[in-house]
Structures are given as structure tokens and as C-alpha cells.
Structure 1
Amino acid sequence: MKKPAKTNGRLVITPPVSPFWSASDYAHETEIMRSTVWPAVQKLLAENWPGFSAAFTADDITLCTHCRSEFEALTADEAADGSTNQDEHSVEGEPVCRYAAIAEFRAERGIPALAETGGVA
């Protein structure tokens, strides 16, 4: 019989991000994490919780240039579900955060603008 157990918990440390940064700015933040923050975490673990192990990884994320949050978009299922999309023109990949982002997405693809915003963000 299966017995569920929780293991391999994750501690995520996220440095500051900005949509106005260049690739070199993000590379600099990642290097700070790798050269300064990561050694401090390793030292803390070694001194206080011997036997714990950790690994450093850096994930690629995509930011919304309108709201500066991590970019989120409709899935195919959400676009097909009238309760989760903006209108009958919503499609997979459409942003979900701001009307301005939706307007930009639709304009790039020739999709009609949202009616409730009058076609403007």
C-alpha cells in the first residue's frame, strides 16, 4: 500500500527584478546570488543543520512589461472556458494581468479589442 510523505522541501530566495533591466542586470543579480547569498546559506546550514544539503539553481522567468509581475497567460482550457476569459475573442496565451497587456497582445495578433475598455488600455 502507498504511504504519502512530504520530502525535499524547497526554500526559494528571489532577488529583486525589474522589467527595465537589461540581460546584464539580471546576470549581475544572479551572480550576486551565486557569490554572496549562496555561500551565506551554505554556512548557515552547515553551522545549524548538519546533514542538510542544498543546491543553487536559477530559473528563467518572463516579466510583464505593464505590471512588472511574472507573466501569466490563459491556458487553452481557460481560453475555452467562458468563466475565465475576458470575452469570446480570448485565446490561449492572452495575458491575464492588465487591460493594457491584453490590448497589446490583441493588437499584435489582429484580435478585436475588449469591448468594456472601448478598445483602449
Structure 2
Amino acid sequence: MQKFEKRQEYEDSTSGSLIPRAMFDSMSIPHYEGSELDQKIEDLTKTIEMLGMEVNILKDKVDELETKSGSMPVNFRIIEVKEATVEEAREKIFEYYKEHEGESIYPDDVADELGLDLKITMQAVKELMKEGSLKEEK
């Protein structure tokens, strides 16, 4: 009788979360004789208690992550990409690098600053490097 009371307490404490009461009530329970049934119930009770503890640990971790991610600043900006040919991009990029001579500048930063498509920027930078107008810093 005591085992049934523990099971009832578990059902009441988890109603609506892990195992819905209707689903729990509709489970078919195989027929066991005497102590074999008691042992199965005891094993299942231990498993349920262990899973309940693991769920609580996971809930705490999720709460902690939500708290941390909520306090992290999110930085973004909208960049308007202008239509440009590779030739037009080359001219703008060359001028940009001349203005920022000595600085370490990546092509994606140039694309952002000038509002150019990254693919076109990469192609233009590649061409400028090939002809010797730009040199890669090491």
C-alpha cells in the first residue's frame, strides 16, 4: 500500500509536466506476482526519482543560460549594399586602403564600410593583389 501512495504523490507532483496524468493512467501495467511486482515498482520509482532530479538540474542550467544570455549585449548594424561592378569596387577599395595605409584591414570590413557586396569585394581585392596594387600583410 505504501508503494501506491508514493506513486500517487509522484503523479500529483508532476501532473502536466513530464508525464501527463491521462497518459500515466492509460499505461498498461503487466501482471506480476507478489514480490516481483513490488521489486518492479521499487525499480521504477527509483528511476522516476532519478529522472526527476536530472530534469531539475537541466531546468536550473536552462534558467542560468537564459539569465546569462539576457544580460549579453547584442550588437548589430544594418548595412546598405550598393550595386557596383568589380571595376567600380576596385577603385573604391584601392582608395579606402590608401586612406587607411598601415592599418590591418580585412576585405569583409572594407565591404561593410563601403557598402559593397562581399563577393565583389573579394574579387576586387584579389585582382588588386594580383596586379601588385595591394600587398598582403603577414
Bigger radius of gyration among the two: 2
Please state which band the TM-score falls in when normalised by the shorter chain. under 0.3
The structure showing larger relative contact order (alpha-carbon pairs under 8 Å, at least 6 residues apart) is 2
TM-score (norm 2): 0.24
Higher helix share: 2
TM-score (norm 1): 0.26
